Structure formats: structure tokens, C-alpha cells
Amino acid sequence: MKAISKLKCSTPTSPLRSSPYVPATPASPDIPSPSSLLDEFTKFCYQSDLPRAIKAMNAMQTLGIHADCITYSQLIKCCLARRAVQQGKLVHQHVFSNGYQPKTFLINTLLGMYAKFNLLNDAQSLFDKMTERNVVSWTTMISAYSNAKVNDKALSFLVLMLREGVRPNMYTYSSVLRACDDLPNLRQLHCTIGKVGLDSDVFVRSALIDIYAKWGEMQNAWRVFNDMETGDVVVWNSIIGGYAQNSHGVEALNLFKRMKRAGFPSNQPTLTSVLRGCTVLALLELGRQVHVHILKYDPDLILCNALLDMYCKCGSLEDANSVFARMAERDVISWSTMIAGLAQNGHSREALQLFELMKASGTKPNYITIVGVLFACSHAGLVEDGWYYFRSMKHLFGIDPVREHYGCMIDLLGRAGKLEDAIKLINEMKSEPDAVIWRTVLSACRVHRNVDLAAHAANNILKLDPQDAGTYIILSNIYANKQRWEDVAEVREAMKNRGIRKEPGCSWVEVNKHVHAFIQGDCSHPQIDEIRRQLNRLIHRLMQVGYIPDTNFVLQDFEGEQMEDSLRFHGEKLAIVFGLMSLSKESTIRIRKNLRICGDCHLFAKLVAKMEHRVIVIRDPIRYHHFRDGFCSCGDYW
DNA sequence: TTAGGGTTAG
């Protein structure tokens, strides 16, 4: 730092300012020549060797060569590369000392440095002092605010620059798009970009795809991608990532195949999205193949974290543990993923032990880590531990409890049958309870058979989410159980009037890398007759050892035998039987469902696992069920 | 001198 302060500037009128001065006289052999010093300086900057670059600049000054805009700019980039904030600030002071008037591009470089260091106040005050601002100055500020997610500022800078008559370019638009936080704004911006003909730029294109994907507008994202005349690997990654983020695994995986066919080599971000595609579809075997492919790379932290998540969400904790154990570097996401993964798969105690290890490793938990910890407590019925973490999270980790933490606690209390305490906690919340919270309450009421509170919770859900078919059905069943037929009719009427239909239940099972789908009431599977025959035989054998179909879970449209029939052919039962028929004795039967598993299928799976000595893993939209020896990892609460 | 993609709970 001292070395830099030794640098002196000449007067603004000095001709030396326009370019570094190199004396014409040859240097003596023991004194380095000015031109070799300048070469050295450039070399050190290129190597990001900040101390030697400063030394060379000081030596140059001793010989009377003063820094100019280009050398200053090189030095600033060197500070950036070394993340040397203080030295960067000293260069800034130096640039403005002795009345020197730096060119706009040098001030832009300083602006860029502050932007990258996330020092928005410094960037803003430098920007305010600028007498001349070009498109780069404006774009740098927009990019700084976009990156810091100060979206309104970023957007207002676009308006101001237009007002000052500065024309935005592709850099500007690709930066400002990231700050677009409402759809009408985005549409207008997209329109403008089209009018000025910048929509073929790959940066603008990938930014458009990203922001549409972020808004869940995949049709628009697809349109941007599909109009593609220009493209590169990042644009492909944007569209694949967009589909994966929005849980459209099939589209993501198909696009990946297309990308390969088109000759684009995949890189780490591509594979991360491909893994996410496998994750949302619970395709363990495909995920394993991707893993083998990844081993050819030197996978970075993000890719390893995605791998961990894939194995946890595909229900293979053995694989997840082995990836976790081998990771050279772990961040808060790696730990949080593993803690939540263990908890979700029914290994709560291990999850809490891992949390202790995490703290011992010096990694600071974030709010998501605590969600995982509370989730683990609720899964294992650890009410006291849950209260301890919830009440002390602020004090211990500096994290304020938010809606999600309340949700976990309400789940914990609900599971433990402490419904009154759960309601008390809802009343303690600073924000209004959302549909997720009320669904948690409803779920607890179903287990603990609290009809009045269930109706209250269901009504609250429907106020917040009138399209939630599942809640109408539960509510209607609750009234039917109480023989409140007028209420039943009212619920049905409301459902009909709002055009709400029960989403058909679907179960998928992966056999030999092919996914077989079983939709309730659909007979299109080529082996459906044989599967049904086998299912009937299996049910018959189960009934001999005491299985009684639990008809509580059927929408009250059916009666008696018909009711049993509708249960008999639930997709997950067909999928289980198909798994038994097609997979080897040692293989785990892995099923993914689009709806929550019903109580009868849950009981069926437990008994089949015991009778057939098989492990069955069923992942529903929220929870995981590992059936083994007549027990389920969820502890019969879901 | 300014711009792009990927990971975490329910």
C-alpha cells in the first residue's frame, strides 16, 4: 500500500500523461531500461502479481515514467484479480490526485472495480462525480445494481440513460434483463430489444431465456430459444436449466440429447441441469450414468452438490453418503442438502448428528440448514429438540425464524398431536399463514382425526388457493364422515362451478432405464392384464394374513365392492406389482408419484415389502417412503 | 472500460 502512495502524478499538462514516457537514450547495463520496466509491469499485471506490479510501477516513476490511463487501468484489473480492495481504493485516490483528469474509460474501469467488489456506494458516488458518462458507465452501474438485486435502481438507470440520450447496447440489455421483476416490464423490454434488433445477440438471448424461465414462462423462453439463428453452449444451458428449474425433467433431458446431436459439448452447468432433470423425474439409473460421465471431469462444488441432491431425492442415501464423504470441499449447501436428504428419507438422528459435525467443521448454517434441522426433529417426533432449535436459532446462529421455520414447527407439533400448540404458534407468526401452513395443519388433523379443525384448515386453504383439488376432496370426505351431506353437496358444487377436477393419480417406475407410467383408470400398459392378475393374487394372499383394504381414502363416490375396486387399481399398487414382476429380487423398487400416497397403498406397500422381502421406495410430491420388513421410514405419518 | 448458464426446505 505504501508503495502505491509513493507514486506521483505529474501536472495535467504534462505530455507524459498521454503515453508512458520512454527516454530515447540507451540505459546503462546495471540500470533497467524504461521499456523493459514497462514490459515487466505489463507482465506482472498479466500474471496478477500485484506486489511486483506495484514495485515495477514505482521503479518506472523513479525513472520519470508516469502512469497513464492504460497503466492505471492495468493496475486496477490486477487489484480486482487479487481482490485487493484497499489497494484498489488507493489507485482510485492516486488517479484523481494532483488535478489529473482521467479519461472516461479509466473512470469506467474504477466503476467496474467497485461494482465487482459490490461496493455500490463507492460506485455511485464516483458515477455522480463523472462529467462525461458513456454507455459503458451506465451499463456498469446497471450491472452493479442487477448483481446486487437492487432491481428498481437498475431499471431506473435504464430510464435515466435513455432520458440523457445514451443508447443502450446488448451489454446494457443483458444486464437490465436480470433486474426485471415484473412480467409487463419484461414484455415491454423484450419488445424494445426486438425493435432495435438486439435479440439475436447470444448474451441477450440467454438473459431473456433465463428471466422468462425464472418467471415460469417456459413458452416464451422456448420461443426465444427456438427463433435461434445464433446460439452457443450458454444459450443451450439456459433453456435446459430453465426446464429443469421448472420441474419439466422430460423436456430438459430431451433438449440435452438434441444439444449433443447438434454437436455442442456439454460443460458443468449443462450437467448440473441434466442432474436436476433426473432429480425431478427420480431417475436414479440415469442419474448414475450422468455421475459416471461426470467422473471424467474434475467436478466443481456446484456439480457435486447437484449430485448429492439427485441421490437424496432419488432415495439412494448410500450413493449420497459416498459422494459426500469424497467431496474435497463442502459448503453450506452441501451440508444442508445432506441434512435435509437424511431427514426426508427418515434418518432424522443421523441428520442431527451431521448438523453437529457441520458446526464443528466451522461452516455457518443458513436459514435453509435450520429448515432441514427442524424437519429432522419433526420426523423423529423430537418436540423438545425442535423447540430448542426454533427458540435459539436467532441467538445461536443469528437467523430470524421465517414462515418456513414456523411451518416446520407446526408440522412437528401437529405430528405429535399437539394441535392446540400448533394453532398458538400460527397466531404468533408475524406474517399471515399461507396455504402451505394450513395444509400442514390439515395433514395433522387427518392423522389425529380432529374434524372441526380440519374443516377450518381446509376452508383457509381454499380461501388462499381455490384451485387445490386435493383439499376439496379431503373437505368433502370430512363432511361425509360426519354425515353432513348438505356440506358435502356444497363442496362438490363449488368444485364443479370452479371447474376443478381431481388430478389423475400417476405412478412411474423405472425398469431397465425405461420409465413405465401407471395412471389410474388407464389400461394402456402392454402388460396390464398380467399385472392386474398378479395384483389380484397378491391382494388375496395379503388378505389371508390380515390385510383389510382401508376405504377411508376413497372419495365418497363409491360404495362397498366398487370402492375396494377403485383402491385395488391405484397406480402405485400396479407399479409395485410391475416392479415385482420385472426387477431382480435384490433390486429396490423405486416409484415416483404425482399425488400423495393414500393410506391403503401405504399399508399395502408395507405388507408387500415384508411378505416379498423387498425394499420399496416411493417418493410422493413431498415425502419419501422407504418400505422394508413391514415398516416405513415415514413412521406412518405423511 | 460494460453482459450470460448450474446447487439448498415444505
Give pLDDT tens digits for A328-351. Answer: 899 999 999 999 999 999 899 999
Q: Does residue A343 lie within 7 Å of nucleic acid chain B, judged by its CB?
A: yes
Q: Note the pLDDT of residue A503.
A: 75
Question: Which residue in this structure is represented by grid cell 431382480?
Answer: A584
pTM: 0.85
Q: Note the pLDDT of residue A29.
A: 54
- Strand B nucleotides, any atom under 7 Å from protein beta carbons: they are 1-10
**Length A49 CA → B10 C1' (Å):** 48
Q: Note the pLDDT of residue A638.
A: 66
**Length A341 CA → B9 C1' (Å):** 10
Q: Note the pLDDT of residue A563.
A: 54
Q: Is A510 helix (H, G, I), strand (E, B) or coil?
A: strand
Other beta carbons within 10 Å of A442: 25
Q: Which of residues 374-413 of A touch strand B (CB under 7 A)?
A: 375, 403-404, 407-408, 411
Cα–Cα distance measured from residue A94 to residue A5, given in angstroms and rounded to the nearest whole number: 7
Cα Dmax for chain A: 108
Other beta carbons within 10 Å of A377: 27
Q: Note the pLDDT of residue A431.
A: 86
Through-space distance between the first and last CA atoms of chain A, rounded to whole angstroms: 61
Q: Is A192 helix (H, G, I), strand (E, B) or coil?
A: helix
Q: Does residue A608 lie within 7 Å of nucleic acid chain B, judged by its CB?
A: no
Q: Note the pLDDT of residue A551.
A: 67
Q: Does residue A368 lie within 7 Å of nucleic acid chain B, judged by its CB?
A: yes
Other beta carbons within 10 Å of A621: 10
- Low-confidence residues of chain A, pLDDT below 50? 1-3, 8-27, 556-561
A576 grid coordinates: 409395485
Cα–Cα distance measured from residue A152 to residue A598, given in angstroms and rounded to the nearest whole number: 46
Q: Which of residues 80-109 of A touch strand B (CB under 7 A)?
A: 104-105, 108-109
Cα–Cα distance measured from residue A251 to residue A274, given in angstroms and rounded to the nearest whole number: 10
Residues whose CB falls within 8 Å of the CB of residue A166, separated by 6 or more in sequence, listed in order: A133, A134, A135, A138
Q: Note the pLDDT of residue A565.
A: 62
Q: Does residue A166 lie within 7 Å of nucleic acid chain B, judged by its CB?
A: no
Nucleotide nearest to A202 (CA to C1'): B4
